[in-house]
Structure 1
């Protein structure tokens, strides 16, 4: 705490007394509420404000309420992420607190749509009271009033890991916020024998293997965003500056995942010896075998873009580890994606963004074309998610003003803002 500010989960200095719309972040709300207990911790086990909010939103859904009311239910206690939860008997005697709470809650509604109408607010209040009754009945063996209110859903009052609740809160928020939006976002990762493409359109997600980039782009010619993990915009002299070092600076502890991009002349060389010698002559440094290993893929994309100018600066470069860092509130995922801990960490970051991710991964594990390619699938899914976030919240690039190479291709790494 410093002055009239609190430091949020995403490291913002936030003033609860003077909230700014640009400082409201759903990641802060979901995280804080998932760690904040209901009933001042007097329930039989840990049951969070976030879990209560999820149950309220699902009750609204079961009642047939529209998505705006469901979202209002999910966010009805969002101000508590910045103010904490105060029990009802005390809160009603704190007029200043109520004034602060109403102002903050109004700012949150301003950021995420609009304030509920009086009729909608009455429905949210009714659902909130109904859920409170059933929470106290299950978790305290107490009937807080009579008669017992009817409930239409099957709320989950079990003790759950806070991270699972946080992820569900974020997924539900993302799902409800996508009303009317049908963006088609594609992420691409190179794999043995071709390219893995993950396509997200609303809540529908598909994973496909394509032999060539030409075939893939023909399939997704109507995509709103199409990001690929392969260098685009190639240097031809040591004065052409790629953003590779900038990306490494964003991936502290994970910089080794960023390979040096070979010069265009080396990309088209016939073998490693020739590529290494060419890169040394043009760029003043040799070429690692890791970088050479992806030259065939770089060449395929570079040749495609030169022969298909309509795709120039439309098929754009990104990087999965940069994407996962964005989803992880700016912190790189340090665990290796080749280890189970790294796989689990990446799946955890994708789960709030993708409907039934676990079901999708189970399904593709039985698809002969793409099974045993989990790392490539997760990378492609990450880039599709970054594209969707970019369309919703805005794209960003490394650097801010990308230079172009001799073929007019931007030398950039594309990312997204989160809020």
Structure 2
């Protein structure tokens, strides 16, 4: 059982949600997989600071190429900009089919834009977190959106990673090793990554959850910045921001 007031970095994976968590910076983190985000929250305990690689906060309308946070971080990422998907309006994300999502997105975006298949595949995960945050002011204050490529950039003295994590859908060992080197420089033990990924996840999920753990700890220490600096809130009072 993870002690109260823990820190966790979370990423989506084939089996559900993968997380690295620990109760204080410098201790050995625990790697786990949960099928539901609600179970992850319950296991972490009260007060846990959770950084997750998933869009949080859904505006009613979109102006430009995605939500404000996506537009704010892309200029920092160079060749890694394509990893930042444009997430549409709440009505589009809540749609029941891809066709309906595209129709709602066209109605609520300026300029009108349909939904990419990659973004659509995230919608059930986005809504899973959204359901937990609605009406829970405590969770809203301690579950934050991070983007791993941006997090690695921030930890790498502002320089984006030079190699992709995947090439044509296959994990790229050189890209993974480049990211592990950054994690090691910031205090994580290289041995954590030597056993590979657990069933239901891949190594890109493992390193993304790990960098989000560091971001959760940095956020609790007041060392992250909100992008954009003055984020909007959606109709449920959820901040629309990426932290890094």
1:265 matched to which residue of 2? Answer: 91
Structure number with higher relative contact order (C-alpha < 8 Å, ≥ 6 residues apart): 2
Which residue of structure 1 aligns with residue 9 of structure 2?
187
Query: SS of 2:87's equivalent?
Result: coil
User: Are 1:362 and 2:190 counterparts?
Assistant: no
CA contact 1:186–1:223 (8 Å) conserved in 2 = no
- Structure with bigger strand share is 2
Judging by fraction of residues, say which structure has more helix: 1
Aligned to 2:169: none
User: 1:139-158 deviations in whole A, cap 9, x for unaligned?
Assistant: xxxxxxxxxxxxxxxxxxxx
Matched, 1:382 2:211: yes
TM-score (norm 1): 0.52
Unmatched runs of 5 consecutive residues or more in structure 2: 167-171
TM-score, with structure 2 as normaliser: 0.87
Structure-1 residue corresponding to 2:220: 391
Aligned equivalents of 1:351 and 1:289: distance in 2?
34
Is contact 1:235-1:405 (8 Å) kept?
yes
CA distance in 2, matches of 1:241, 1:361: 33
Alpha-carbon distance in 2 for matches of 1:355, 1:379: 13
Deviations along 1:281-334, one digit per CA (max 9) or x if unpaired, are: 111211111110111111111112115443123211111001100111101103
Q: What number of residue pairs does the alignment pair up?
A: 230
Matched residues in 2 for 1:260 and 1:268: separation?
Answer: 15
SS in 2 for 1:253: helix
Matched, 1:406 2:235: yes
Q: CA deviation digits over 1:21-74, x for unaligned, max 9? A: xxxxxxxxxxxxxxxxxxxxxxxxxxxxxxxxxxxxxxxxxxxxxxxxxxxxxx
The offset of 1:252, in angstroms, is 1.8
What's the CA shift for 1:278? 0.9
Distance 1:262 1:228 in 2: 19
The CA distance in 1 between the partners of 2:117 and 2:140, in whole Å, is 28
Task: Tell me, in whole angstroms, the C-alpha distance in 1 between the residues paired with 2:34 and 2:184.
Answer: 25
The gaps in structure 1 that reach 5 residues or longer are 1-181
3-state DSSP class of the match of 1:329?
coil
- Specify the structure having the higher radius of gyration (Cα): 1
Residues 77-126 of structure 1, C-alpha deviations (whole Å, 9 max, x = no match): xxxxxxxxxxxxxxxxxxxxxxxxxxxxxxxxxxxxxxxxxxxxxxxxxx
Measured after TM superposition, the shift of residue 400 of structure 1 is: 1.2
